[in-house]
Amino acid sequence: MKQIKITLIMCLFISLIVFLPIKAQYYYSGGGQIPIQIDSNKVTIKFYDSIPEATKQRVTMSLSCLSEQMEDDYLIDNFLAFSLYNYNGYFDYLDSLKLIPEIERVEPYYLTEDSIPILMGLTIFVLFNEDVTENIIDSINAIYNVEIFDCPEGRTNVYYLKVTDSTEYYILDLANIYFQMSQTIYAHPDFSVAIIPDSYTLYDYYSQYQWHIKKVIGEFNEASVWDFAGLDKPIKVAVLDDGWSDHPDLDITRIYKKWNIVDDTDDVTPDSLYAHGMACTGIIAANHTTDSTQQGDKTTGMISMNSNAIIIPIKLFRLPCGIYHGSLYANAINYAYSVWHEREADVISCSWHADKEYDELRLEIETAKNHGRNGLGCPVIFSSGNTEYGAAGNVKYPARLEACFAVGAIDSNDYRFLYSHYDTTLDIVAPSGATSYKPGYPPNGDVWTLDQTSNYGVNPASIHSCPNDGENDQSMYCKFGGTSAACPVVSGTASLILAKDPTLTANEVYDILRNSAVKDLDWGTLPDTPHVEYGYGRVDAFRAILSISHGDVTNDDQIDMSDITALIDYLYLGGERPFPSVLMADCNCD
């Protein structure tokens, strides 16, 4: 019997030693080899835990080939990373480092094919076949001088194996040896892995200048409002302004039922040197560039609040503004929401005010807000108004009407611009730029949005010219501002809210906008709500959509049993964290 046991161990030993070449540059996963490469200009070193920090520094300073210690988020198990001076015999040098008594382990510095560090620690992860006994596992581990570090509870034949001082192999080679054994199902080194959520990443070139949108969407290209599921529904936004002309940064398929109410035609082209409506529309609905191959391409354009929105351009006036029959303004609202005119806007956006009150306009606004969208009501968003010189006065008409949602303007530090009108009827504030309506009187706005193309629009005029930073910046308007720029930020947010839940009423959209607004501004917390200068606070699209996504843990735009399962998994089993916000699981919003 004793002879049989010795023979079995010898056969096992022979089956193990014939397997793997040393210094492999791949590891196994999914049954195949994952290629990696060695960065011969770097090395990772682990000192014994008992070695004082001063001794570590003395040792490293005495090693002439070590250049400097590097910070690296991928390091594990108290390894340190060092860059090397040019050294021809990389592995010879690593072997010499192993002889230093204070050093416990030395490992090569590996990179993935995408040049991402893949740095080894002290352990490998091994799954043995079900029929492999603990005695055999112990025998295998003894051959390679490794020890069992951990056995995950509830899992059979799964082990974390840790190297010892007697282990001769690099950790990658050791893992590959175990993988190729007939006694294992798989094995790989334990290394750091960055979990990268599949966030909605944008590469629009001019987005670098669009602070006014980035202020309200969450963390740009990390976890923004557009990471929420269900926002791709084609919500129609009527922009009542000075017109629209085709632009490469807004798909023509998203321009719907345009109408020139001044001339009673479908030609809504703005006058040649103006682009007020273009600018408002761009903030709401310009295209998004999600193709990473276009990063740095100066023709990609700029971001908007809702790149799925459908725009209904209604040319309501010419610039500079003239005096029109009051009925035109009322008719424009009717054209926007009315089922009889087959436009049926979901949101109405108006960056203007009237200098007189009249019932016809008020009644159309109230009808739109209370009876549009087949009885659910259209949110009617208005700018609060601007003052050219001196302190602003009360919110302008019709923004101050109860049926309207009034938007004031704040700067990048959340302070109200002096020109932005305010009073107790103000609902919310939104980021905008400074502005001046008199040519030559600074400051001008700094909001980047869309202009007319070619030599039309405001950009060709020298006072509005953009930095020569792109191939198509003549088609961009880089000095827009005022409450005119703040209003479409809120209109775009309202369109996202309705995309998330099209069954909401206009009143509910208003409540969501108010309740999700940020009260803790950059300069401090609003002393009361609503505040006379800031209303309910600064609009926040991320918080608005989050507030109606609570319970949708799986972020699939529906609440069902999968959300309960995912929530239990997250809270009690260490499962995946809800994305784009852990607060998606907060059903009672506390």
* Model pLDDT for residues 366-419, shown as the tens digit of each residue: 999 999 999 999 999 999 998 876 667 899 999 999 999 999 999 999 999 988
pLDDT for position 12:
42
Residues 6+ apart with CB under 8 A from 346: 235, 236, 237, 373, 378, 379, 495, 498, 502
Please check whether residues 52 and 101 belong to one and the same domain.
Answer: yes
Q: Are strands 259-260 and 520-521 parallel, antiparallel or unpaired?
A: unpaired
Asked if residue 74 is part of any domain, the answer here is yes
Range scoring the smallest mean pLDDT among 26-30, 33-37, 360-364, 524-528: 26-30
The yes-or-no verdict on residue 11 having pLDDT over 70 is no
The yes-or-no verdict on residue 446 having pLDDT over 50 is yes
Question: Is 470 or 433 the better-scoring residue by pLDDT?
Answer: 433
Asked if residue 241 is part of any domain, the answer here is yes
pLDDT for position 43:
95
The yes-or-no verdict on residue 221 having pLDDT over 70 is yes
Q: Are strands 259-260 and 347-350 parallel, antiparallel or unpaired?
A: unpaired
- The answer to whether the beta carbons of residues 427 and 513 sit under 8 Å apart is yes
413, 411, 379: which is closest to 490 by C-alpha? 379
Question: Is 333 or 3 the better-scoring residue by pLDDT?
Answer: 333
- The answer to whether the beta carbons of residues 228 and 585 sit under 8 Å apart is no
Mean pLDDT to the nearest integer, 32-51: 93
Packing angle between helix 276-285 and helix 482-500, nearest 10 degrees?
A: 30
DSSP helix/strand/coil, 540: coil
Please check whether residues 244 and 338 belong to one and the same domain.
Answer: yes
Question: Is 190 or 290 the better-scoring residue by pLDDT?
Answer: 290
Amino acid at 291: D
Asked if residue 198 is part of any domain, the answer here is no
pLDDT for position 424:
95
- What's 339's DSSP letter? G
Asked if residue 199 is part of any domain, the answer here is no
Tell me the Ramachandran region of residue 301: left when phi exceeds 0, alpha when psi lies from -120 to 50, beta otherwise: left
Neighbours of 74 (CB within 10 A): 18
Neighbours of 548 (CB within 10 A): 18
pLDDT for position 20:
35
Residue with tokens 């039922």: 257
Please provide the DSSP assignment of 428-478 as one string: EEEE-----SSTT-SPPP-EEEE--STT-SSTTSGGGPPPS-STTGGGEEE
What CATH number does residue 447 fall under? 3.40.50.200
Please check whether residues 275 and 401 belong to one and the same domain.
Answer: yes
First to last CA, the chain: 69
Amino acid at 476: M
The yes-or-no verdict on residue 112 having pLDDT over 70 is yes
The yes-or-no verdict on residue 470 having pLDDT over 80 is no
Report the alpha-carbon distance of residue 25 to residue 6 in Å, rounded: 35
Asked if residue 384 is part of any domain, the answer here is yes
Please check whether residues 232 and 332 belong to one and the same domain.
Answer: yes
Detail the DSSP E strand segments found in 113-244: 120-128, 146-150, 158-163, 184-191, 218-219, 223-224, 236-241
pLDDT for position 468:
60
Report the share of the chain in percent with pLDDT over 70: 89
- The answer to whether the beta carbons of residues 412 and 418 sit under 8 Å apart is no
102 pLDDT band, cuts 50/70/90, is: very high
pLDDT for position 87:
63
pTM of the full predicted structure? 0.71
82, 186, 89, 81: which is closest to 128 by C-alpha? 186
189, 212, 172, 141: which is closest to 24 by C-alpha? 172
Please check whether residues 364 and 473 belong to one and the same domain.
Answer: yes
Summarize pLDDT for 499-529 with one digit per residue, the tens. Answer: 999 999 999 999 999 999 999 999 999 988 8
- The answer to whether the beta carbons of residues 434 and 443 sit under 8 Å apart is yes
Report the alpha-carbon distance of residue 447 to residue 486 in Å, rounded: 10
Please check whether residues 124 and 258 belong to one and the same domain.
Answer: no
Summarize pLDDT for 129-157 with one digit per residue, the tens. Answer: 999 999 999 999 999 999 999 887 777 88
- What's 292's DSSP letter? G
Please give the structure tokens belonging to residue 296: 């740095």
- The answer to whether the beta carbons of residues 300 and 483 sit under 8 Å apart is no
Which residue segment(s) compose the domain that 69 sits in?
2-191
The yes-or-no verdict on residue 324 having pLDDT over 90 is no
Asked if residue 196 is part of any domain, the answer here is no
- Averaged pLDDT score across all residues of the chain: 87
Please check whether residues 534 and 561 belong to one and the same domain.
Answer: no
Neighbours of 219 (CB within 10 A): 12
pLDDT for position 1:
41
pLDDT for position 19:
37
Question: Is 433 or 20 the better-scoring residue by pLDDT?
Answer: 433
pLDDT for position 351:
94
Tell me the Ramachandran region of residue 398: left when phi exceeds 0, alpha when psi lies from -120 to 50, beta otherwise: alpha
pLDDT for position 356:
85
Instruction: Determine which helix (DSSP H) or strand (DSSP E) holds 569, and give its type and residue range.
Output: helix 561-572
- Residue 252 backbone dihedrals phi, psi, to 5 degrees: -60, -25
Please check whether residues 239 and 91 belong to one and the same domain.
Answer: no
Residues 6+ apart with CB under 8 A from 499: 230, 231, 232, 233, 235, 306, 308
Residues 6+ apart with CB under 8 A from 23: 91, 108, 170, 173
Mean pLDDT to the nearest integer, 178-205: 84
Asked if residue 180 is part of any domain, the answer here is yes
Please check whether residues 556 and 540 belong to one and the same domain.
Answer: no
Detail the DSSP E strand segments found in 203-353: 218-219, 223-224, 236-241, 259-260, 310-315, 347-350
- What's 420's DSSP letter? B
- Residue 139 backbone dihedrals phi, psi, to 5 degrees: -65, -40
Asked if residue 213 is part of any domain, the answer here is yes
pLDDT for position 435:
65
The yes-or-no verdict on residue 190 having pLDDT over 50 is yes
Amino acid at 306: N
pLDDT for position 197:
59
Please check whether residues 250 and 177 belong to one and the same domain.
Answer: no
pLDDT for position 96:
92
Please check whether residues 332 and 396 belong to one and the same domain.
Answer: yes
Cis peptide before 320 (omega within 30 of 0): yes
- The answer to whether the beta carbons of residues 120 and 170 sit under 8 Å apart is yes
465 pLDDT band, cuts 50/70/90, is: low
What's the structural domain count of the chain?
3
337, 333, 316, 312: which is closest to 254 by C-alpha? 312
Please check whether residues 379 and 490 belong to one and the same domain.
Answer: yes
Report the alpha-carbon distance of residue 230 to residue 200 in Å, rounded: 13
Last residue of a domain, one of 123, 157, 191: 191
pLDDT for position 436:
54
